[in-house]
A and B are shown apart, each in its own frame.
Chain A
């Protein structure tokens, strides 16, 4: 292994359906795929790569619940406890009146909390450095990256495997870690 980085074999795919079949057959051979990079979301790719369903929706629910609690605490604290006032003949705890603000705060915190979590776990930040194996992966090609070190196949054998599964190109790439 080179001191400067990690060596990868990358397969370039033109078509998403060829790519999906290739992922299945490559994994069936016991090859560990590092990651697949696509210019657009390919449906069904997560299950082929063995990724679990994202739990971001749970995060959204938790943040939403936090928003509900915060909104109610704020309004009850202000209009019921701190400075009670009779407005429109309602009592000091007019729950129906609180519905709009509670709803908006729930949606606001849920959306921002989930997106924030998404940015953190996916390491997306303005100064973030993309892992670019091939510049075409944001244009029109799907890129399958396989780390040579993590597999007990030779570089040539991996390239041959990718080619036999429909890759239009199979290249080597040295990446900084």
Chain B
């Protein structure tokens, strides 16, 4: 039998029973959505459609529509790509790494964090996919498929190709992990629909639940599958952003050619991912009245992860500056001098303020247990992480070895439109998820209810 310390605060408050858990979570799927949901969905759809125009112009006229030039040939698109991929790190980190560390607080948040991961990776994938112009040919170019050029194979020495493998693997394994967890909950919704006589719902969720009946034998296998998937997904999460960082680190551009990039990028990814999870969960728990499941304790623990990863990122920024000076290489030194004091100084200092200073406020218990403060800082962190990628990418390129080719990057409305498009896509998907799928893993929450619920703690 599991024995839990009395000192630990309950993870589920409100004196919930097992049936209450099914009721509270499934009811959101069964009921008609609220007016707020409809309003949010309409706004997301409008955003998606407005952004789709930028996508259309990009595909029809080419990436000349963007603000890129001969000097800054990588800018807004790859910034957005790395930003979204980074956000997509929190979900699998929560469900895999926290599972291996037996952190029970992950159970209330893993479902929506994983959904966020999947949608964020889809948004990220939009940029490399759409920048190829002819998607249908591009897909053949990036995959090692026989072709009519020889066959001329893909370049396995290129980190960009490693990215293709890393991101597709990460996306598909995360999707499978997420779906495996959803199966028992779909079965709960199916059986509730059967009981209430809602035939269509019982049929749809019956199909989605794969005929799950909760047999002890199946549960035992399910536990093995979850554990092994967690073991596989843990190095996978770390590999994805490591490989993304190699897109830069394996080049010879000053400011990019840095060996600390892999750990620095992974910490940054977890940092931004947790910030986005906080932003979404604070809204979700409020709108769906899930305060008893996603408690202040959950938010506080996530804020602690933010302090840790934010501080790692801060140290990485300082290490970069130190190494630039210590290297004695004039080009390296200028790249950083220009980053801090050059024409993009405002981006650098926004990054420093948002990413290094703002999370330090969470050292105060009052701030990290305050919902409004957490919400504001989570958004600030996400803005800061966008600037981080912008600073790394654009400031390293815009003043290269030859002063006559120095240039500035100015985004066009199509750059902005592409970014807006991914926001529309992300929120449309997340809102659809929050309506049709159970937003909290009911089966896992039930499994800890007896030991960490409020009743046993009294």
Which A residues are closer than 8 A to B by beta carbons?
Answer: 15-17, 35-43, 45-46, 49, 51, 53-54, 56-57, 60, 64, 74-75, 78-79, 82-83, 87-88, 90, 94, 97-98, 100-101, 103-105, 107-108, 110-112, 114-115, 118-119, 121-132, 135-140
Contacts and interface: CB of A to CB of B under 8 A. Distances in A.
B253 to A, nearest CB: 15
B343 interface: no
B214 A83 contact: no
Given A51-B220, A94-B157, A121-B221, A36 B215 contact: yes
Contact of A135 (B161, B191, B235): B191
B70 interface: no
Contact of B22 (A45, A124, A139): A139
A125 B235 contact: no
B213 A137 contact: yes
B452 to A, nearest CB: 13
B75 interface: no
Contact of A140 (B1, B22, B195, B229): B22
Contacts of A140: 17-19, 22, 446
B221 to A, nearest CB: 5
Which of B161, B190, B194, B214 counts the most chain A CB atoms within 10 A? B214
Interface in B136-178: 144, 150-157, 159, 161-162, 165-166, 168-169, 172-173, 176-177
Given A94-B157, A132-B191, A138-B191, A83 B150 contact: yes
Contacts of A37: 213-216
A124 B210 contact: yes
B192 interface: yes
A139 B443 CA distance: 9
A101 B161 contact: yes
Given A74-B144, A115-B225, A139-B191, A49 B216 contact: yes
A83 B152 contact: yes
A108 B173 contact: yes
A138 B180 contact: no
Interface residues of B, number: 71
B450 A42 contact: no
Contact of B210 (A111, A126, A137): A126
Contact of A87 (B157, B168, B216): B157
A173 B380 CA distance: 58
B426 to A, nearest CB: 24
A130 B144 contact: no
Interface string B171-212: 011001100100110011011101100000000001111111
B156 A104 contact: no
Contacts of B190: 130, 138
A131 to B, nearest CB: 5
A118 B151 contact: no
26 contacts: A39-B188, A39-B446, A40-B446, A41-B220, A42-B216, A45-B220, A51-B217, A56-B228, A78-B153, A79-B153, A100-B159, A100-B246, A107-B233, A108-B168, A111-B176, A111-B177, A111-B233, A115-B180, A126-B211, A130-B190, A131-B215, A137-B214, A138-B191, A139-B18, A139-B22, A140-B18
A39 B191 CA distance: 11
B342 to A, nearest CB: 31
A86 to B, nearest CB: 10
Given A46-B217, A78-B144, A112-B172, 9 more contacts: A40-B443, A41-B447, A51-B220, A79-B156, A114-B225, A122-B217, A123-B211, A130-B213, A132-B194
B211 A130 contact: yes
Contacts of A125: 210-211
Given A83-B151, A119-B210, A135 B194 contact: yes
B224 interface: yes
A136 B19 CA distance: 9
Contacts of B159: 100
B219 interface: yes
Interface in B234-249: 235-236, 239, 243, 246
A9 B157 CA distance: 63
A143 to B, nearest CB: 8
Given A100-B165, A138-B184, A82 B151 contact: yes
A105 B165 contact: yes
Which are the 4 A-B pairs with shortest beta-carbon distances?
A128-B211, A140-B18, A130-B213, A100-B162
Contact of B188 (A75, A115, A138): A138
B444 interface: yes
A135 B204 CA distance: 17
Contacts of B223: 41
In this complex, the member of B1, B161, B180, B211 whose beta carbon has the largest number of chain A beta carbons within 10 angstroms is: B211
B249 to A, nearest CB: 13
